[in-house]
C-alpha cells in the first residue's frame, strides 16, 4: 500500500465481454491445447469468478460444448496460494486478478496457462508437492520440546518481529520458482534433493535460522544449502523478488543465507 | 501401541493440532485433506486468538471472566463445562504457539501485544499482523512436517473423505477418494477425528474458503452421527461484497477504533468526507454506549441489517454502511491492520486509510456442527453463580481438569464411539453465537486437550484389544462399493452436451445458496422457513436427475462439486428445520415472529438426526450448572437517525 491517497482505477466498460484464452490439458502425458471462452463480466469480477462462470456453462467462443476447465483455488483472498497461474504471461494469483484492471475494454483477451515449473495435473491445476518437499529438506520448523505447558517463548523486539513476520507470510505459492531461470521442471522425485531448492525455501531457512530455538537446526540447514541444488545455484537474476505477491525481500534472504553458508563452510573446514 | 493408527480428516488448525499431539505420543497419524494442509481455510483468519494474559489479569480479568463472556456471548446455549476448560487452557495455548515461533505482534519491551475484540472490556486478543490464522496454521504445519519427516505422520493430500466405516458399533476407518486418480479406497483406523471445518458454501457466497462445503460433516450425519444446533449460523457484520466471495473485513478494524455510521439523511449523495460529524449517524455507539462499535457480531449484524433493509438508511440507498478508520493515523493503521486493509484495497480499489470502507453482513461461521459429548471436570458449585462482574475476583483458579476431565475418552466424541469432531465442525463451545477470536482457540484446544482422549480411547477401550488392522474386510469393502456406485450414478451419461440449467450442479448449488441466504440468515420467520423447505425439496428432486458435462475419470472437479451439492442439500435441510422448530430468538438465531428468548422451552441443544433419508430435530437439555442465565442486552439504549449525535464512543475502544 502506498502512503498517499489512492489513485483511481482505470474505468472499465460496463457490461462488456472478455475472451479467456485457456491452455488446457486432459492429464499427465496428454497434449496441451487452447480454447477460447467469452464471458460477460459484471463489475468487480476476478479471474476465479469468471472461471466459475465457465465451469457452470462451458461453451467455447466457437459454440462448442466442452468439459469444464479445472483449476485450483481456496481462500479467494490471496492468502492460501492455491490459485497461482500464468496470466497474460505473468505468474500471479488468479483470485486477486481483477478483470476491470486486466481487461477494461469490450473484447479484451486474457490468457490463462498453468505454471510451467510443476507437472500439470489437469488444465490449470499443477502438482506443487516439490515445493513442500523442499521445506522438509531445510527442516523449516522450530524444534520444540513438545506441546506441553512449558512456559512462553523468547521475547522479541517489535523491529525483529516485523522482519520475521514478513518472511513468515510466504504462502508457498511458487511464483518465485516459476519466474526463476535456475528452477526447472523436474518430474522425477529422486532428482529433487539435488535440484535447485529455490528462493522460497532459502528464505524460510533464513527465518528459522534467526529464531532462537529454530537456530538449533541451523547447521543442518546450511549443510543442505551448501550442497548441490543449494544457494550457490542461484544466478542472482532477481526475478523472484519481483513476482513475490507478499513482497518478501527474497534477494536479501538469498544474500543472508549466502553469508551464513560461507561462514559455515569456513568453520567446518577448521573443525575438520 | 505400534499397530494403532489414528485418522485425522482435515488439516486446518484443529486437525493439525490433533495430529501433532497424537504423533508426539508415538501413535501413527494418517492426515487427510482436500488441499495441501497449509492451504486450509484456517489461513483466512485475520483478527486473533483470545486468552487471559498477565496485563489483563492485573486489571482484574481472569480465565473465569473469559469463560463467562463466552457463555454470555453464546446466549446461554452451550453446555458450560467444556467452555470453562477451554478458557482455562487459553493462556497455555498462546505460550505453546509462541514457542513454536508464531510472530505475535510485540510491545516495545518485547512482550506479546494485545488488542480489543468484541464481547470483552479487556484486551485479551493476541495477534500476528492481520493474518493470525495464517501464522498459526503455518506454525502447526511446520510441526507436522517435522513428524512427517520422522515417519510418524502420513499426509494424504488431495484425498476427499467420503464416508466413515462402522463395525461392531464403532468407527474403524474411512473411505476416501484421490481427487486426481479418482481411486476410491478404504483406510483403517482405531479412531477417526473429523476436523473438516465449517459449511459457508451452503449459503453460496460467504466469507469462507471455496472448499468449506460442510459435505464431510453431512456425510457423517447421513451415516448416523448426530448434528447439534444446525440453525446457529453466524453472519459477520462487516464483509466486502464481491462477485465470487464476500471477503471479510475483520472485527479488529472495529477493535482498533473503526466506527460504523451512515448519513443521517437517507440516500445522501455526498461523498463521506463532505458529510459533517453532526450529520453522521453512529448508530452502534448511540445504541450501545458501553460497547459501542464492538458489540458482538449478531447484534452488530442485526443493527446494520435493520438500518439498511428496514429503515432504508444504507449508504447511497444501497445495502451498505460505512466502516470508518480515516480518523486514525495512517502509519498506525498500516502497522496494526496492514494485511486486512490491503485486502480491501486489492479487491475494491480504494485505500481505507483515506476513504471509509463500505461493508455489509455475510455468512461467516457455523456454531452448529457434529454433536459431541464430554466428561465433566471437578468444578461443580452447589448452585450456579450469577453473571460474573467484570473485573471482580474469579471464584476459582484455572487449574487443569475443572471444566472437563483431562483424558476422558468421550471428550469431543460424537455419538458414534471412535468418531470424534474437533474445531469448527464440533458444535460444543460457542452456543448460539461465537465471540470473535474464540474459534482459533477452540480448534487448537480440541486438538491438544481432546487429542489425549483419543489416545486413551485406543489404549483403554475396544481398539486396545481389537485393533482395526485385525478386523475383517467386509465393512470396508461394503462402503467402498457404496461410494463407487454413487460415483457411477453421477458420471453415468455425463457428456459436454448436458447443459440443461435445471439439472446442472452449479445452478442447483447457486439456487441453494440464494435460498438459504434469503431464508436462513439475519431474520427468520415461520412462513419463510417453510417456503425454504419446499424449495429444498424441489432442489433435491432436481438433484436426483442431475446431469454432468464432464465424464472424465481423471481429476473430475465438477463431479466432486456435484457430489458435495447432494450433501449440502442435506445439511441445508437440517439448518432450516432447526431454525423452524426453534420458536424463539437467541444469539445468531433471530425470529421476527418470536422475538424473545424462551429459556423454559429452548435453553436446549437442537439435536438433528438423519435416518432413511429423513431428518428430524428435537431439543435436549444442556448443563448450565455453573452460570445462571441473564438477559443478553449488552446495555442497549434507544437511538434513531433524528436524535442529536451523542458523543458516546465506547471508552474501552479508545
Ligand atoms: C475470513 C475469516 C476470518 C476469521 N478470523 C478469525 C479470527 O480472527 N479469530 C478466530 O478465532 N476465528 C476466525 N475465523 C474462524 C476460524 O478461522 C475457523 O473457524 C477455523 O479456522 C476453522 O478451523 P478448522 O481447523 O476447524 O477447519 P479448516 O481450517 O476449515 O480446515 C478444514 C480442513 O478439512 C479438510 N476437509 C474438509 N472436507 C474434507 C473432506 N471431505 N475430505 C478431506 N478433507 C476435508 C480441508 O482440506 C481442511 O484441511 C475466521 C473465519 C473466516 C472465514
Ligand atoms: S535471484 Fe536466484 S532464486 Fe531469485 S530468480 Fe534469480 S536465480 Fe532464481
Ligand atoms: S516467497 Fe513469495 S513468491 Fe515465493 S512462494 Fe513464498 S509467497 Fe510465493
Ligand atoms: S485462492 Fe487462495 S490465493 Fe487465490
For the segment B115-172, what is each residue's pLDDT rounded down to a tens digit? 988 788 899 999 998 899 999 999 999 999 999 999 999 999 999 999 999 998 999 9
Cβ distance of A6 and B355 shorter than 8 Å = yes
Strands B233-240 and B357-366: antiparallel
B41 touches chain A (CB under 8 A): yes
User: Which residue among A176, A182, A203 is best mutated to probe the pocket of ligand 3, counting the most ligand atoms within 8 A of its Cβ?
Assistant: A176
Q: For residue A5, what are the contacts with CB-CB under 8 A and spacing of at least 6?
A: B351, B354
pLDDT in tens, A217-228: 999 999 999 999
CB A145 within 8 A of CB A185: no
Reference B439, options B429, B453, B431; nearest CA is B429
Identify the residues whose C-beta falls under 6 Å from ligand 2: A 179-182, 199, 234-240, 251, 254
pLDDT in tens, B223-271: 999 999 999 999 999 999 888 899 999 888 998 899 999 999 999 999 9
Does the pTM surpass 0.90? The reply is yes
User: What pLDDT does residue A2 have?
Assistant: 39
B101 touches chain A (CB under 8 A): yes
A2 to chain B, closest Cα gap in Å: 9
Q: How far is CA A1 from CA A76, B355, B382, in A?
A: 19, 14, 57
What grid cell was written down for B347? 479487491
Cβ distance of A147 and B135 shorter than 8 Å = no
A128 touches chain B (CB under 8 A): yes
Interface with chain B: mutation pick from A74, A127, A155, highest number of B CBs within 10 Å:
A74
Least confidently predicted of A255-264, B307-316, B381-390: B307-316
CA distance A199 to A170: 11
CB A199 within 8 A of CB A253: yes
CB B220 within 8 A of CB B194: yes
Q: For residue B293, what are the contacts with CB-CB under 8 A and spacing of at least 6?
A: B254, B258, B259, B260, B284, B285, B300, B650, B653
A81 to chain B, closest Cα gap in Å: 7
> Please, what sign has the CA dihedral across residues A259, A261, A262, A263?
positive
Q: Of B112, B297, B434, B542, which one is the catalytic site residue?
A: B297
Hey, which residues 248-267 in chain B have their CB within 8 Å of chain A? 248
Please list every residue in chain B whose beta carbon sits closer than 8 Å to the beta carbon of residue A157. Answer: 106, 110
What grid cell was written down for B372? 459431541
Percent of chain A at pLDDT > 70 equals 96
**In this model, does residue B489 exceed pLDDT 50?**
yes
Atom of ligand 2 nearest to the CA of A179: 5
Q: Shortest CB distance from B44 goes to which of A75, A82, A153?
A: A75
Identify the residues whose C-beta falls under 6 Å from ligand 4: A 73-76, 78-83, 93, 95
**In this model, does residue B85 exceed pLDDT 90?**
yes
CB B157 within 8 A of CB B33: yes
CA-closest residue to ligand 3 atom 3: A244
CA-closest residue to ligand 1 atom 9: B437
User: What pLDDT does residue B343 have?
Assistant: 85
Domains of chain B: 5-232+367-470 (3.50.50.60), 236-362 (3.90.700.10), 474-600 (1.20.58.100)
Hey, which residues 39-98 in chain A have their CB within 8 Å of chain B? 42-46, 48-49, 52, 55-59, 64-68, 70-71, 73-82, 95-96, 98
B125-126: strand order across its sheet = B49-50, B125-126, B114-115
B43: Cβ below 6 Å to ligand 1? no
Task: Give CA A150 to chain center in angstroms.
Answer: 35
Burial B51-68 (b: 16+ CB within 10 A, else e): bbbebbbeeebbbbbbbb
> How many other C-beta atoms can be found within 10 angstroms of the C-beta atom of residue A83?
27
Strands A109-113 and A16-25: parallel
pLDDT in tens, B498-530: 778 899 999 999 999 999 999 999 999 999 999
Percent of chain B at pLDDT > 70 equals 98
Percent of chain B at pLDDT > 90 equals 84
Q: For residue B492, what are the contacts with CB-CB under 8 A and spacing of at least 6?
A: none
Cβ distance of A58 and B549 shorter than 8 Å = yes
Under-50 pLDDT residues of chain A: 1-8
The mean per-residue pLDDT over the stretch B167-181 comes to 96
User: What pLDDT does residue B73 have?
Assistant: 93
- Reported CATH class of domain A16-126: alpha beta
User: What pLDDT does residue A35 have?
Assistant: 98
Q: Which ligand is nearest to the CA of A243?
A: 3
| Cross-strand bridge partners of residue A113 | A86
User: What pLDDT does residue A9 have?
Assistant: 52
Reference B633, options B353, B288, B279, B245; nearest CA is B288
Task: Give CA B179 to chain center in angstroms.
Answer: 25
B297 is catalytic: yes
The mean per-residue pLDDT over the stretch B452-465 comes to 94
Atom of ligand 4 nearest to the CA of A72: 1
**In this model, does residue B648 exceed pLDDT 50?**
no
User: What pLDDT does residue A3 have?
Assistant: 39
Q: How far is CA B72 from CA B68, B317, B368, B418, B626, in A?
A: 6, 35, 17, 32, 12
**ipTM for the predicted complex:** 0.95
Burial A133-169 (b: 16+ CB within 10 A, else e): ebbebbbbbbebeebeeeeebeebeeeebebbbbbbb
For chain B, percent helix, then strand, then coil, each to nearest 5? 40, 20, 45
Task: Give CA B620 to chain center in angstroms.
Answer: 22
Q: For residue B244, what are the contacts with CB-CB under 8 A and spacing of at least 6?
A: A45, A46, A48, A49, A52, A76, A95, B205
The mean per-residue pLDDT over the stretch B169-190 comes to 97
Cα torsion for B450, B452, B458, B461, to the nearest 10°? -80
Reference A214, options A153, A269, A162, A160; nearest CA is A153
Say what angle helices A129-137 and B132-149 make with each other, to 10 degrees: 70
> How many other C-beta atoms can be found within 10 angstroms of the C-beta atom of residue B282?
23
Q: Which ligand is nearest to the CA of A75?
A: 4
Reference B64, options B393, B487, B542; nearest CA is B393
A259 CA to centre of ligand 1 in angstroms: 39
Cβ distance of A136 and B247 shorter than 8 Å = no
CB B361 within 8 A of CB B246: no
User: What pLDDT does residue B653 have?
Assistant: 27
CA distance B224 to A121: 35
Tell me yes or no: is domain A129-143+154-271 CATH 3.20.180.10. no
Mean pLDDT of chain B: 94
Q: For residue B612, what are the contacts with CB-CB under 8 A and spacing of at least 6?
A: none
CA distance B142 to B20: 10
Interface with chain A: mutation pick from B180, B249, B549, highest number of A CBs within 10 Å:
B549
CB B357 within 8 A of CB B324: yes
> How many other C-beta atoms can be found within 10 angstroms of the C-beta atom of residue A194?
12
Least confidently predicted of A241-245, A256-260, B298-302, B481-485: B298-302
Own/partner pairs for B281-287, CB < 8 Å, 24+ apart?
B281/B313, B281/B641, B281/B645, B282/B645, B282/B648, B283/B307, B283/B639, B283/B641, B284/B260, B285/B259, B285/B646, B285/B648, B285/B649, B285/B650, B286/B637, B286/B639, B286/B643, B286/B645, B286/B646, B286/B648, B287/B636, B287/B637, B287/B638, B287/B639
Say what angle helices B63-73 and B80-99 make with each other, to 10 degrees: 120
CA distance B616 to B611: 8
Q: Return the higher-pLDDT residue of B305 and B420.
A: B420
The mean per-residue pLDDT over the stretch B74-97 comes to 98
Domain map (residue ranges) of chain A: 16-126, 129-143+154-271
> How many other C-beta atoms can be found within 10 angstroms of the C-beta atom of residue B26?
11
> How many other C-beta atoms can be found within 10 angstroms of the C-beta atom of residue A53?
20
Cα torsion for B70, B72, B74, B76, to the nearest 10°? 120
Amino acid at each position: 500500500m502506498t502512503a498517499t491517497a489512492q489513485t483511481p482505477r482505470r474505468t472499465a466498460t460496463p457490461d462488456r465481454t472478455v475472451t479467456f484464452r485457456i491452455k488446457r490439458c486432459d492429464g499427465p502425458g496428454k497434449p496441451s491445447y487452447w480454447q477460447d471462452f467469452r464471458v460477460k463480466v459484471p463489475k468487480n469480477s476476478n479471474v476465479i469468478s469468471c472461471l466459475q462462470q465457465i465451469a457452470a456453462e462451458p461453451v467455447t467462443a466457437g459454440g462448442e460444448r466442452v468439459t469444464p476447465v479445472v483449476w485450483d483455488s481456496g481462500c479467494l483472498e490471496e492468502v492460501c496460494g492455491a490459485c497461482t497461474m500464468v496470466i497474460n504471461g505473468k505468474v500471479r494469483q488468479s483470485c486477486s486478478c481483477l478483470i476491470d484492471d486486466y481487461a477494461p475494454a469490450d473484447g479484451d483477451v486474457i490468457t490463462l496457462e498453468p505454471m510451467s515449473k510443476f507437472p500439470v495435473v489437469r488444465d490449470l491445476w499443477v502438482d506443487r508437492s516439490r515445493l513442500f518437499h523442499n521445506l522438509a529438506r531445510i527442516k523449516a520448523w522450530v524444534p520444540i520440546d513438545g506441546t506441553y505447558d512449558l512456559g512462553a517463548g523468547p521475547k522479541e523486539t517489535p523491529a525483529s518481529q516485523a522482519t520475521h513476520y514478513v518472511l513468515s507470510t510466504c504462502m508457498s505459492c511458487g511464483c518465485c520458482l516459476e519466474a526463476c531461470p535456475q528452477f526447472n521442471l523436474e518430474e522425477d522425485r529422486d532428482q529433487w534433493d539435488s535440484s535447485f531448492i529455490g528462493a522460497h525455501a532459502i528464505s524460510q531457512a533464513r527465518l528459522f535460522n534467526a529464531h532462537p530455538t529454530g537456530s538449533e537446526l541451523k547447521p543442518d540447514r546450511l549443510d543442505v544449502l551448501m550442497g548441490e541444488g543449494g544457494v550457490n545455484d542461484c544466478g542472482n537474476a532477481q526475478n523472484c523478488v519481483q513476482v513475490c505477491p507478499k513482497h518478501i525481500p527474497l534477494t536479501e534472504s538469498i544474500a543472508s543465507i549466502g553469508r551464513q553458508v560461507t561462514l559455515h563452510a569456513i568453520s567446518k573446514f577448521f573443525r575438520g | 501401541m505400534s499397530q494403532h493408527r489414528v485418522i485425522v480428516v482435515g488439516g486446518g488448525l484443529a486437525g493439525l493440532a490433533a495430529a501433532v499431539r497424537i504423533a508426539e505420543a508415538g501413535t501413527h497419524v494418517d492426515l487427510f485433506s482436500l488441499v495441501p494442509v497449509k492451504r486450509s481455510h484456517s489461513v483466512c483468519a485475520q483478527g486473533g486468538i483470545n486468552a487471559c494474559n498477565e496485563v489483563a489479569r492485573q486489571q482484574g480479568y481472569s480465565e473465569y471472566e473469559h469463560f463467562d463472556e463466552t457463555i454470555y456471548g453464546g446466549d446461554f446455549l452451550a453446555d458450560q463445562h467444556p467452555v470453562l476448560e477451554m478458557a482455562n487452557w487459553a493462556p497455555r495455548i498462546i505460550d505453546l504457539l509462541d514457542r513454536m515461533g508464531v510472530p505475535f505482534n510485540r510491545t516495545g519491551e518485547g512482550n506479546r501485544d494485545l488488542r480489543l475484540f468484541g464481547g470483552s472490556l479487556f484486551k485479551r486478543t493476541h495477534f500476528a499482523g492481520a493474518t493470525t490464522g495464517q501464522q498459526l496454521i503455518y506454525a502447526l504445519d511446520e510441526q507436522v512436517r517435522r513428524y512427517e519427516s520422522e515417519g510418524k505422520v502420513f499426509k494424504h493430500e488431495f484425498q476427499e473423505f467420503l464416508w466413515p466405516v462402522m463395525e461392531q458399533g464403532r468407527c474403524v476407518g474411512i473411505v476416501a477418494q484421490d481427487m486426481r486418480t479418482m481411486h476410491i479406497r478404504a483406510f483403517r483406523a482405531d479412531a477417526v477425528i473429523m476436523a473438516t471445518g465449517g459449511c459457508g458454501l451452503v449459503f453460496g457466497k460467504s466469507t469462507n474458503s471455496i472448499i468449506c462445503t460442510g459435505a464431510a460433516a453431512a456425510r457423517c450425519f447421513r451415516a448416523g452421527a448426530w448434528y447439534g444446533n444446525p440453525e446457529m449460523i453466524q453472519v459477520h457484520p462487516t464483509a466486502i461484497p464481491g462477485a465470487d466471495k464476500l471477503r471479510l473485513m475483520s472485527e479488529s478494524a472495529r477493535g482498533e477504533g473503526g466506527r460504523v455510521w451512515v448519513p443521517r439523511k437517507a440516500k445522501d449523495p455526498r461523498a463521506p468526507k463532505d458529510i459533517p460529524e453532526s450529520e453522521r449517524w453512529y448508530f452502534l455507539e448511540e445504541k450501545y454506549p458501553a460497547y459501542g462499535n464492538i458489540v458482538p457480531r449478531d447484534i452488530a449484524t442485526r443493527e446494520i441489517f435493520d438500518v439498511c433493509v428496514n429503515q432504508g438508511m444504507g449508504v447511497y440507498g444501497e445495502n451498505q454502511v460505512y466502516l470508518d478508520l480515516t480518523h486514525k493515523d495512517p502509519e498506525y493503521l498500516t502497522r496494526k491492520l496492514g494485511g486486512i486493509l490491503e485486502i480491501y484495497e486489492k479487491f475494491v480499489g480504494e485505500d481505507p486509510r483515506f476513504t471509509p470502507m463500505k461493508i455489509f453482513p455475510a455468512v461467516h461461521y457455523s456454531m452448529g456442527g457434529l454433536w459431541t459429548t464430554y466428561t465433566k471436570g471437578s468444578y461443580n458449585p452447589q448452585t450456579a453463580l450469577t453473571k460474573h462482574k467484570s473485573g471482580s475476583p474469579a471464584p476459582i483458579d484455572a487449574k487443569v481438569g475443572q471444566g472437563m476431565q483431562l483424558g476422558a475418552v468421550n471428550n469431543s466424541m460424537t455419538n458414534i464411539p471412535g468418531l470424534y469432531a474437533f474445531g469448527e465442525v464440533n458444535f460444543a463451545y460457542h452456543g448460539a453465537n461465537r465471540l470473535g477470536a474464540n474459534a482459533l482457540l477452540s480448534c487448537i484446544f480440541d486438538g491438544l486437550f481432546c487429542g489425549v482422549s483419543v489416545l486413551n480411547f485406543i489404549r483403554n477401550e475396544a481398539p486396545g484389544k481389537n485393533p482395526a488392522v485385525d478386523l475383517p474386510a467386509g465393512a470396508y469393502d461394503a462402503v467402498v462399493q457404496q461410494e463407487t456406485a454413487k460415483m457411477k450414478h453421477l458420471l453415468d451419461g455425463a457428456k459436454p452436451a448436458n447443459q440443461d440449467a435445471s439439472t446442472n450442479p452449479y445452478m442447483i448449488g447457486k439456487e441453494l445458496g440464494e435460498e438459504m441466504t434469503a431464508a436462513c440468515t439475519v431474520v427468520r420467520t415461520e412462513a419463510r422457513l417453510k417456503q425454504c423447505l419446499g424449495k429444498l425439496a424441489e432442489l433435491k428432486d432436481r438433484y436426483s436427475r442431475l446431469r454432468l458435462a464432464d465424464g472424465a475419470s481423471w481429476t473430475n472437479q465438477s463431479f466432486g462439486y456435484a457430489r458435495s451439492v447432494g450433501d449440502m442439500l442435506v445439511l441445508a435441510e437440517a439448518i432450516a428445520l432447526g431454525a423452524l422448530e426453534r420458536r424463539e430468538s437467541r444469539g445468531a438465531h433471530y425470529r421476527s415472529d418470536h422475538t424473545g428468548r424462551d429459556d423454559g422451552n429452548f435453553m436446549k441443544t437442537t439435536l438433528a438426526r438423519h435416518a432413511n433419508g429423513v431428518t428430524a430435530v428435537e431439543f435436549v437439555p444442556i448443563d448450565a450448572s455453573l452460570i445462571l442465565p441473564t438477559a443478553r442486552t449488552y446495555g442497549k439504549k434507544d437511538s434513531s437517525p433524528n436524535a442529536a449525535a451523542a458523543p458516546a464512543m465506547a471508552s474501552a475502544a479508545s
